[in-house]
């Protein structure tokens, strides 16, 4: 199987999961499916569609948070995810806060 086939298959699995969530009113993992669908699209060169899916995933995840502490930590996590997507997938997602590079290892795993 070629690399593009892997990304296309992954995107199809995400589509099936997203459709299941829609039909059955489930949303617990919907943001994960949308984020992964966005990564698949970016890897296939569909950058604008990828940015849309990832942005929706971020907004949906934030909507489920209750406390200010949860929201602050999620904002950091999403900023680091946007940083990684921009760096590794060639996207230009907005980063909502200034990143402290000393915290990078807490949020981003990279091969050395």
The domains of the chain are located at 3-107
pLDDT of 41 above 90? yes
The predicted structure's pLDDT at residue 52: 97
Phi-psi region of 109 (alpha: psi -120 to 50; beta: other; left: phi over 0): beta
Angstrom CA distances, 34 to 4, 42, 59, 63, 102, stand at 18, 12, 11, 15, 29
**Rounded CA separation 61/28 (Å):** 9
Q: What is the pTM of this model?
A: 0.83
pLDDT of 112 above 60? no
pLDDT confidence tier of residue 1, bands split at 50, 70 and 90: very low
The predicted structure's pLDDT at residue 106: 85
- Closest C-alpha to 39, from 28, 31, 47, 30: 47
**Quick one: average pLDDT of 81-104?**
93
């Amino acid at each position: 199987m070629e690399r593009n086939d892997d990304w296309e298959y992954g995107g199809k699995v995400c589509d099936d999961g997203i459709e299941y969530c829609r039909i059955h009113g489930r949303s617990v993992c919907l943001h994960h499916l949308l984020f992964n669908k966005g990564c698949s699209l970016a890897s296939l060169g569909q950058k604008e569609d990828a940015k849309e899916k990832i942005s929706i995933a971020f907004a949906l995840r934030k909507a489920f948070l209750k406390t200010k502490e949860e929201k602050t930590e999620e904002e950091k996590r999403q900023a680091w995810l946007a940083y990684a997507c921009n760096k590794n997938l060639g996207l230009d997602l907005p980063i909502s806060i200034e990143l402290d590079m000393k915290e990078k290892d807490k949020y981003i795993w990279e091969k050395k």
